[in-house]
Amino acid sequence: MTIPDFDPHATALRLLRSEAPARIMGAPQDWPRWEVLLPHVLAATDQIGETGHLSLPGLGREQAVQECSWLLDRAAAFLRVHGRPGEARPLAERALAIDEAAYGLDHPDVGAALSNLAHILQDLGEMADARRLVERALAITEAAYGPGHPTVGAVLSNLATILTDLGELADARSMTERALAIDEAAYGPDHPNVGTDLNNLAQILQNLGELADARRLAERALAIDEAAYGLDHPDVGTDLNNLALILRDLGELADARRLVERALAITEAAYGPDHPTVGTRLNNLAVILRDLGDPATRGAAVQRPKDQPGRSDWAPRAANEEST
């Protein structure tokens, strides 16, 4: 009788992978589970080197390597969504290194890891490096799936948000319009991925001064997300915030105030009072109140109001998970 190969690290990775929710962004119902699992994921993946070395041979090792990189990637996404990009970065870098060692430089899973690491670098303000990674991810994804695949649309959308931050609005607009066309063809006009594209395109049009069209797209994005998620979802909070800033630019300050106050309440309930996004909402509310002449804001130091791009949570990893 042959005794099967056994590795406690591989077993721990497999069990954690079976318990960990795949979707992070836009899935607040799963965050408490991740909060519980996170320290165990960090402990289990800490036993694995950047080459994914395990004592198991063959298929057992390959599966464990996939589970390790997946867990690192998802843990990084959880930390990023909760305003901890500095902690997320080394996890995402390890996930990328493991995938490159396991699959080579041009595998779709490497493209996914590149795109997700780029999210984190964007949050850290490292735009040039974020752009380089997403451009590489786009080339890999287009070669693997073809130019009209929804995964390509997701990477295009993510690259467009970086270009928007860099002020390259014409290129950002072109990429977002392409992502929107891909997603509408793949999912239909009322899918949340379409809402993300509409939200991002509305931000670009706002920056270009095309406020009427920006408002129309932002209102459509809000309607899609409210229908898909309900009235109190974090993505709805993002939509409300961004629509409020368009209304501010249009001079509709009372409505802008109402929307950003609702966005603030949703965001505080989802993330807690100390999350960076709550700070953004508070700042935006302060700007609008100042514009309304609220005496409480007189002399207060406020920053330029900030909209918030929608981002695809992750590019689907070909060997592990389908798009969510």
Consecutive 10-residue runs of the chain (324 residues): their mean pLDDT?
A: 58 92 90 96 81 50 85 96 95 95 94 95 96 98 96 95 96 97 97 95 96 98 97 95 96 97 96 92 94 72 56 36 28
Question: Is 204 among the domain residues?
Answer: yes
| Cβ contact 140:111 at 8 Å | yes
The CATH code of the domain that includes 225 is: 1.25.40.10
CB under 8 Å to 5, separation ≥6 — which residues?
55, 56, 57, 60
Question: Is 184 among the domain residues?
Answer: no
CA dihedral over 323, 120, 271, 230, signed as positive or negative: negative
Burial of 261 (C-beta count, 10 Å sphere; 0-12/13-18/19+): middle
Question: Is 218 among the domain residues?
Answer: yes
Tell me which residue of 191, 141, 135, 142 sits closest to 158, measured CA to CA. Answer: 135
Question: Is 17 among the domain residues?
Answer: no
Dihedral over alpha carbons 253, 254, 260, 264 (to 10 degrees): 140
- The three state secondary structure string of 265-316 is HHHHHHHCCCCHHHHHHHHHHHHHHHHCCCHHHCCCCCCCCCCCCCCCCCCC
Place of tokens 């695809």: 312
Distances (CA, A) of 151 to 27, 50, 138, 216, 313: 19, 26, 9, 26, 11
Nearest-angstrom CA–CA distance, 40 and 15: 11
Q: What is the pLDDT of residue 321?
A: 27
Q: What is the pLDDT of residue 70?
A: 94
Tell me which residue of 248, 320, 244 sits closest to 281, measured CA to CA. Answer: 244
Question: Is 160 among the domain residues?
Answer: no
Q: What is the pLDDT of residue 64?
A: 83
Tell me which residue of 297, 222, 286 sits closest to 248, measured CA to CA. Answer: 286
Tell me which residue of 139, 193, 134 sits closest to 163, measured CA to CA. Answer: 134
Q: What is the pLDDT of residue 317?
A: 31
Question: Is 109 among the domain residues?
Answer: no
Question: Is 46 among the domain residues?
Answer: no
Tell me the residue range of the domain where 223 lies.
189-311
Tell me which residue of 101, 106, 25, 28 sits closest to 68, measured CA to CA. Answer: 101
Instruction: Give me the number of domains the chain comprises.
Output: 1
DSSP structural state of residue 191: S
CB under 8 Å to 264, separation ≥6 — which residues?
237, 278, 281, 282, 285
Q: What is the pLDDT of residue 222?
A: 97
Question: Is 36 among the domain residues?
Answer: no
